[in-house]
């Protein structure tokens, strides 16, 4: 039986699973470009996401947060991992 996570590209799948299990709603992800887009409710969630990833052993990533004001106010966050030999992100050993 296929799960939701089987539809996510393998290189980014463990990070998506970690963030979702930690209560963050991921909107989109890309395994070959190594990024995740996350839905935010509050600005301090950006720091909480960075800490969640760091505590899980991930490093060499960038957390970008933006507020877009149009008809409504949208909070967008993107996490991008440094690629390493096309093998994905690095994990602290």
- Domains of the chain plus CATH, in order, are 4-85 (3.30.1360)
User: What is the residue-level pLDDT of the chain in tens, covering all 93 positions?
Assistant: 468 788 899 999 999 999 999 999 899 999 988 999 998 877 788 899 999 999 999 888 889 888 888 898 888 889 998 765 444 555 543
Distant-in-sequence, close-in-space partners of 75: CB < 8 Å, separation ≥ 6: 39, 40, 41, 42, 43, 65, 66, 67
pLDDT given for residue 2 in this prediction: 65
pLDDT given for residue 3 in this prediction: 82
pLDDT given for residue 84 in this prediction: 55
- pTM tops 0.75: yes
pLDDT given for residue 81 in this prediction: 87
Residue 15 CB coordination number (10 Å): 25
């Amino acid at each position: 039986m296929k799960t939701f996570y089987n539809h996510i590209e393998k290189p980014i799948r463990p990070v998506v699973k970690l963030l979702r299990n930690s209560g963050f709603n991921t909107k989109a992800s890309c395994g070959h470009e190594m990024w995740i887009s996350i839905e935010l409710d509050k600005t301090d969630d950006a720091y909480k996401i960075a800490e969640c990833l760091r505590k899980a052993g991930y490093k060499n990533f960038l957390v970008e947060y933006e507020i877009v004001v149009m008809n409504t106010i949208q909070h967008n966050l993107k996490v991008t991992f440094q690629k390493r030999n096309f093998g994905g992100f690095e994990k602290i050993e």
